Structure 1
Amino acid sequence: MASNAAAPFWRSAGMTYITHSKLCANLLRNCLKEPYKSEALNREKVHYSISKWADAKPQKPTIRSDSPDE
């Protein structure tokens, strides 16, 4: 059994690895100079579709576009 001293610092801080990774990525993007900063911010946007199901059949999907800052 591992001790808490061997735990990664992000776990000791009560974060998940995904949360830690997202935090580090945002810090790095904010350190970039233009035009690289705006290009990196545009790449982080997420596009996905959601389909609701009724009577075992998918309904018309809706397209969503969210950015992490919203």
Structure 2
Amino acid sequence: MASAVAGSSAAVPFWRAAGMTYITYSNVCASLVRGCLKEPYKSEAATREKVHFAISKWANGKPEKPTIRSDSPEE
């Protein structure tokens, strides 16, 4: 039984062993796939590449007004 537990701890996903989070690994893979697409699919995929999200800080147990953020550096 002890050998089965020790063996399972050695099966670390390669993205974790490389020091990445799954989200980082997923973003790298998606970027590579988008780069391999042919037109018109490549330009369509580029328009869906941007991600926008809202961040709300909490003060005194209540959320403050959210700020809209983007993952793209040009905005």
TM-score (norm 1): 0.66
Structure 1 counterpart of 2:16, which letter? R
The structure 1 segments of at least 4 consecutive aligned residues displaced by more than 6 Å after TM superposition are 51-54, 56-61
Cα deviation code 1:5-59 (max 9, x no counterpart): x1000001010000000000000000000110010010111234567789x9988
What is the number of equivalent residue pairs in this alignment? 67
**Gaps spanning 5+ residues in structure 2: where?**
1-5
TM-score (norm 2): 0.62
**Gaps spanning 5+ residues in structure 1: where?**
none
Q: Is 1:47 the equivalent of 2:52? A: yes
Partner of 1:18: 23
Cα distance in 1, alignment partners of residues 38 and 54 from structure 2: 33
Q: Identity over aligned residues, as a percent? A: 73
Cα distance in 2, alignment partners of residues 20 and 33 from structure 1: 23
- Report deviation, 1:60: 7.1
Instruction: Return the structure number with greater strand share.
Output: 1
Cα distance in 1, alignment partners of residues 44 and 14 from structure 2: 31
Partner of 1:29: 34
Secondary structure of 1:15's aligned partner:
coil
